[in-house]
């Protein structure tokens, strides 16, 4: 008897936690597990700002899938670009650009998210994201290159524009990115005697009225004060009206000479979601509390790709797209898959938020574990302790801890490593948002599988 095929799409927090649980809990031969992912690592996304600022090396936050799995899972090196739920086939573009069909009996959609953009003139061509490892490495090179180019320039206007930096998004990603990179440039400018430190300006803007509202008023005010004391100009209730290679126009009318625009204003579910032609909530697949997709036999979705009802609240809320929820959803969904295989009832996902941590670089941090408000070194200890413990392999833990210790002792370095291309890369170049198929294209690719060919 051929064992049922479980296909997991995505190697983020949700997908990897689901696979790990399945590997530990399923009996040998009970099911075949396959994982679709273009990269052979799980990206520890919350530490990307520290990669961008050079505190951590890129390899430190790329947790090897080969080390963290039990070798029962077949890894398909590519990205899912369409799903034919009727034929029970997922269309995958491998890293060689070959398009293949992956049939399944159970499908787990943990495809994650991409950077959310808006119809703002010049945005997608001139902004850089902070969603992938390549983007973090690219931004580090780009920021350091602006210091090098400003130092070499004889044109005061060019120099001023290269030393202005804008980060859009007052959530965790944007705030930590602005804080960590501002610290990098503050330390780096000491190596540039021709540059006036006062010319380096960092701007953090967000259309929301508060910075990281999840922190609450008191901790939010503390975080805002830390940023302002460092010289970061924070503008709330403001966004980008248009962007060009050499300036950014804000919605309040200000025009800022600037060659670095970092966009972290939220995320949107992977475009893979649209290929299923299913109901969505805020762009995410509408699923049951058990994380199954209504009307799609044995299809489940979780993480950033799914709108999972938050049963800890009573106002019809859905779970926020955070790593904390994704990890626990992965475990819960694995248990439900096993229950389905064994003809047992499924259980709804229920989890209360355990708090949050925000690392602002150096000794600055704010944290709220289990509702307890912390700031300064205690908050920093909690933030880094949480991130360190969440890393899935001892090798990754050792690399991150060593990097932190080296940075604390030796300080930052300011070497460009070659990611800075002559042609600036766009959001599409990093996140491949134009790679997905239309419904007709999906049917064409899966016709052979549906007919047994």
The pLDDT assigned to 449 comes to: 54
pLDDT bracket for residue 362 (50, 70, 90): confident
Residue of 401 and 414 predicted with greater confidence:
401
What's the average model confidence in pLDDT over 197-220?
A: 93
The pLDDT assigned to 241 comes to: 97
Reported for 94-102, long-range contacts at CB under 8 A and 24+ positions apart, including other chains, are: 95/38, 99/445, 101/445, 101/446, 101/448, 101/449, 102/7, 102/34, 102/36, 102/76
What's the average model confidence in pLDDT over 38-44?
A: 94
The yes-or-no verdict on residue 453 having pLDDT over 50 is no
The pLDDT assigned to 413 comes to: 85
The pLDDT assigned to 316 comes to: 83
Strands 260-263, 127-128: pairing is: parallel
The proportion of the chain whose per-residue pLDDT surpasses 90, expressed as a percent, equals 80
The pLDDT assigned to 366 comes to: 94
The pLDDT assigned to 439 comes to: 83
**Domain topology for 5-46+59-115+268-353+431-450:** FAD/NAD(P)-binding domain (3.50.50)
What are the tens digits of pLDDT across the range 70-99? 678 999 999 999 999 999 999 999 999 999
The pLDDT assigned to 1 comes to: 77
The pLDDT assigned to 420 comes to: 60
CATH number of the domain located at residue range(s) 123-265+355-420 in this protein: 3.50.50.100
What's the average model confidence in pLDDT over 335-363?
A: 92
Element spanning 161, H or E = helix 156-162
Angle (CA) 25-31-36 rounded to 5° is 95
The yes-or-no verdict on residue 121 having pLDDT over 70 is yes
Span(s) in the chain for CATH 3.50.50.60: 5-46+59-115+268-353+431-450
pLDDT bracket for residue 345 (50, 70, 90): very high
pLDDT bracket for residue 428 (50, 70, 90): confident
pLDDT bracket for residue 339 (50, 70, 90): very high
Query: What is residue 198's three-state secondary structure?
Result: helix
What's the average model confidence in pLDDT over 35-59?
A: 95
Span(s) in the chain for CATH 3.50.50.100: 123-265+355-420
The answer to whether 222 and 254 are in contact (CB under 8 A) is no
Count the helix, strand and coil residues of the chain and give each as a percent rounded to the nearest 5: 40, 25, 35
Beta strand residue intervals within 264-305, DSSP E = 267-269, 280-281, 284-286, 299-301
The pLDDT assigned to 423 comes to: 66
pTM for this model (two decimals): 0.93
The yes-or-no verdict on residue 370 having pLDDT over 90 is no
CB neighbour list of residue 452: distance below 8 Å, 6 or more residues apart: none
The yes-or-no verdict on residue 422 having pLDDT over 80 is no
CB neighbour list of residue 34: distance below 8 Å, 6 or more residues apart: 5, 6, 7, 8, 73, 74, 75, 76, 102, 104
Question: Average pLDDT, whole number, for the chain?
Answer: 92
What's the average model confidence in pLDDT over 291-302?
A: 96
Question: What single-letter DSSP state applies at residue 374?
Answer: E
What's the average model confidence in pLDDT over 393-409?
A: 94
What's the average model confidence in pLDDT over 274-285?
A: 93
The proportion of the chain whose per-residue pLDDT surpasses 70, expressed as a percent, equals 96
The yes-or-no verdict on residue 452 having pLDDT over 70 is no
In this structure, of 55-64, 141-150, 162-171, 425-434, the range with the lowest mean pLDDT score is 425-434
The pLDDT assigned to 424 comes to: 67
């Amino acid at each position: 008897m051929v064992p049922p095929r479980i296909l997991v799409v995505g190697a983020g927090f949700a997908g990897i936690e689901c696979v790990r649980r399945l590997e530990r809990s399923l009996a040998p031969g009970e099911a075949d597990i396959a994982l679709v992912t273009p990269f052979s690592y799980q990206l520890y996304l919350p530490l990307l700002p520290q990669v961008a600022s050079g505190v951590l090396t890129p390899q430190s936050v790329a947790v090897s899938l080969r080390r963290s799995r039990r070798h029962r899972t077949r890894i398909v090196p590519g990205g899912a670009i369409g799903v034919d739920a009727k034929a029970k086939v997922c269309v995958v573009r491998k890293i060689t650009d070959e398009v293949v069909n992956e049939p399944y009996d159970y499908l787990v959609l943990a495809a994650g998210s991409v950077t959310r953009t808006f119809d703002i003139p010049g945005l997608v061509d001139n902004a850089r994201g902070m969603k992938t490892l390549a983007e973090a490495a690219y931004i580090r090179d780009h920021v350091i290159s602006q210091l090098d180019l400003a130092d070499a320039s004889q044109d005061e206007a060019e120099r001023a524009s290269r030393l202005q930096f804008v980060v859009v998004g007052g959530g965790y990603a944007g705030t930590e990115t602005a804080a960590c990179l501002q610290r990098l440039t503050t330390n780096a400018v000491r190596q540039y005697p021709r540059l006036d430190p006062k010319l380096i300006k960092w701007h953090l803007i967000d259309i929301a009225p508060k910075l990281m509202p999840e922190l609450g008023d008191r901790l939010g005010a503390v975080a805002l004060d830390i940023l302002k004391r460092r010289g970061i100009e924070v503008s709330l209730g403001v966004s980008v009206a248009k962007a060009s290679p050499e300036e950014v126009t804000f919605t309040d009318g200000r025009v800022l000479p600037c060659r670095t625009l970092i966009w972290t204003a939220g995320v949107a579910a992977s475009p893979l979601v649209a290929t299923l032609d299913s109901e969505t909530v805020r762009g995410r697949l509408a699923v049951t509390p058990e994380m199954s997709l209504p009307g799609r036999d044995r299809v489940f979705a979780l993480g950033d790709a799914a709108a999972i009802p938050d049963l800890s609240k009573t106002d019809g809320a859905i779970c926020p797209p955070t790593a904390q929820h994704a990890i626990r959803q992965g475990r819960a969904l694995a248990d439900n898959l096993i229950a389905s295989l064994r003809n047992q009832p499924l259980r709804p996902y229920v989890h209360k938020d355990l708090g949050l941590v925000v690392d602002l670089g150096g000794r600055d941090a704010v944290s709220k574990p289990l509702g307890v408000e912390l700031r300064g070194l205690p908050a920093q200890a909690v933030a880094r302790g949480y991130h360190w413990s969440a890393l899935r392999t001892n090798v990754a833990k050792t690399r991150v801890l060593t990097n932190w210790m080296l940075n604390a002792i030796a300080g930052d370095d300011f070497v460009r490593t070659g990611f800075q291309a002559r042609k600036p890369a766009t959001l599409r170049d990093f996140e491949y948002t134009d790679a997905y198929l239309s419904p007709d294209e999906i049917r064409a690719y899966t016709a052979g599988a549906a007919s047994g060919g």
